[in-house]
Structure 1
Amino acid sequence: MDPAAAQDAQHRFRGTTTLVVGGSVGIGLASAQRLAAERGRVLVADLDLEGAERAVRDLPGEGHLALGIDVLDADAVDTAVSALSEQGITLDALVHVAGGDTDHGDFAETEDETWRAMLELNLLGPVRMLRRVLPALTTSTRTPSAVIVSSVNGALTLGSEPYSSAKAGLVPLIRNLAHEYGPRGVRINAVAPGTVRTRAWEAQGGPDHLAGEYPLRRVGEPSDIAAAIAFLCSPDASWITGHVLPVDGGLSIRRAF
């Protein structure tokens, strides 16, 4: 590869603006760092505004912004995205990472409140962002895309039924929206991580005890997922839409769907 081509490959997001929702820690932070390292402008959105501001201060490059967004609040989402438009900011990509599980008993003991909370956060949260951002992405002059973080729990028998069901619901959402928005030039995909070293594991002594479940004999790092997200957002994936990419160290080839 000649030097100019090599430099272009490292600067895939030059001149683009990406909104990363849930970007202050973990996979979201790693994604923001990866996109900024490839010369993209990143808007780090999070419920924790101070965390988003810290993340932005450490990103390479200039022009990054921190936003406070609560994906559980449709009005807050509308207000935040409208404010971007009013500032003349054109979005080229959405990366939605915000989500998570909660402690609960077995299926028979799990109340409706837990189910509602998991559906609100892991399914309706992305719905609210996509509903508001997709029309804005159609105005991008680049190769606009949205990447949603799902989970292998949405396809495998790994328990945690409320969380897993909400994540599984993202699959038809992604496919239907990819079909609807493809003619308008917007690509929509998801990644489905396996076990990743994030703060969710801190109270459990870390995730490394699960490494033996994976053919690659390690758990994932946030940077592993960020690399896949960056690929799907980039022009390198310009003919890929409507797919859920497992980024799981081979876990899904060992377990039955």
Structure 2
Amino acid sequence: MTHTQRFEGHTALVTGAARGIGAAAARRLAEEGASVLLTDRDGEVVEETAAGLREQGLSVRASACDVGDRAAVEAAVAHAVEAFGGLDVLVNCAARCTRMTPLFEDEPDDAWEQDLDITLSGPYRCSRAALPHLVASGRGAIVTIGSVNGLQDFGNHAYSAAKAGLGSLTRTLAGHAAARGVRVNMVVPGTVRTSAWEGRDTEISRIEKLYPLGRVGEPEDIAAAVAFLASRDAAWITGTTLVVDGGLTAVNTGFHTAVHSMREA
């Protein structure tokens, strides 16, 4: 697919870019003309992803980066700035979600702390390291990937609390950075068909029935929203949360189905 070159001459750094939403966002930005540094904790896989994009003629590089490590984050940002001559866009995608225990009181402390550290503090570290360079670019933008888990109860206590925290961080950082010309926004996906759902087609089929638009999302759906918010098409948008969830949080499909069934009875 040919895209408008909204990012010609721009540079970007995407975390959690080895696969899924992060990889799709990196691809979309590169397809629209950006030079992109893909980072991920899994350095081997992110390099494979970047190599595949380079084979398509896209301007990308890869670097291993654990967003839980401040020094690694600062090194990744420095890598992008040195390689591309600056930084215009940061996409915070890296996250961690531990399978929750049946009982809340059995949740281990380390799972709670690690989910919050990667999912919430990770974007904080990345944004802090990138902000001076985004200011210097004169067209800086931060786009963070949230989740419907931060809006409603879909389980996973720590992950959900972290994603809800990202909404607040988006608003406060937007207010702080606006005067310096940097926009900060968040995309909130519903269920997206990533590697986490491989081999779970039966579950996907059940979940799709809960979505008013009749399907779960694809990584490319989220990447399109990321590209919009990072681009000058969104030049007067900051501090906002863009929900991209097929209508899940707007329409109670289960309730509608139950009411319809009662009327037919």
Give the TM-score, by structure 2 length. 0.88
Letter in 2 for 1:72: G
- Asked if structure 1 preserves the Cα contact closer than 8 Å seen for 2:20 and 2:195, the reply is yes
* SS of match in other structure, 1:34: helix
- Structure 1 residues without counterparts, runs of 5 or longer: 1-6
Give the match for residue 218 of structure 1. Answer: 215
Letter in 1 for 2:12: T
Give the match for residue 119 of structure 1. Answer: 116
* SS of match in other structure, 1:57: helix
Quote the offset at 1:55 in angstroms: 1.7
- The 5-angstrom pairing of residues 131-146 of structure 1 reads 131-141=128-138, 143-146=139-142
Deviation larger for 94-103 or 223-232 = 94-103
Over the matched positions of the two proteins, sequence identity in percent amounts to: 46
1:172 is aligned, of 160, 168, 181, to 168
The answer on 1:27 being equivalent to 2:21 is yes
How many residues in Structure 1 have an aligned counterpart in Structure 2?
247
What are the superposed Cα offsets for residues 152-186 of structure 1, whole Å, 9 maximum, x if unpaired?
00011212111100110011111010001001000
Distance in 1 of aligned mates of 2:74 and 2:132: 12
Give the match for residue 102 of structure 1. Answer: 98
What are the superposed Cα offsets for residues 192-249 of structure 1, whole Å, 9 maximum, x if unpaired?
1000001112254463320011110100000000000010011100100001111000
Distance in 2 of aligned mates of 1:214 and 1:86: 44
- Asked if structure 2 preserves the Cα contact closer than 8 Å seen for 1:196 and 1:207, the reply is no
What are the superposed Cα offsets for residues 84-123 of structure 1, whole Å, 9 maximum, x if unpaired?
4445630000011111311121312212221101101110
2:40 is aligned, of 38, 42, 46, to 46
- Asked if structure 2 preserves the Cα contact closer than 8 Å seen for 1:39 and 1:61, the reply is no
Distance in 1 of aligned mates of 2:143 and 2:5: 19
2:182 is aligned, of 181, 186, 206, to 186
Distance in 1 of aligned mates of 2:62 and 2:115: 26
Alpha carbons of structure 1 residues 203 and 103: separation in structure 2 relative to 1, 3 Å: farther
Alpha carbons of structure 1 residues 88 and 41: separation in structure 2 relative to 1, 3 Å: closer
Distance in 1 of aligned mates of 2:223 and 2:230: 10
- Asked if structure 2 preserves the Cα contact closer than 8 Å seen for 1:37 and 1:61, the reply is no
What are the superposed Cα offsets for residues 9-64 of structure 1, whole Å, 9 maximum, x if unpaired?
71101110110111110001111111111111111111112222222222243432
* SS of match in other structure, 2:153: coil
* SS of match in other structure, 1:28: helix
Distance in 2 of aligned mates of 1:24 and 1:87: 19
Q: Return the index of the structure with the highest Cα Rg.
A: 2
The answer on 1:75 being equivalent to 2:90 is no
Give the TM-score, by structure 1 length. 0.91
Runs of 4+ more than 6 Å apart? none
Deviation larger for 35-44 or 79-88 = 79-88
Alpha carbons of structure 1 residues 173 and 245: separation in structure 2 relative to 1, 3 Å: same
Give the match for residue 129 of structure 1. Answer: 126
Letter in 1 for 2:207: L
* SS of match in other structure, 2:209: helix
Letter in 2 for 1:231: F
* SS of match in other structure, 2:13: strand
- Asked if structure 1 preserves the Cα contact closer than 8 Å seen for 2:147 and 2:188, the reply is yes
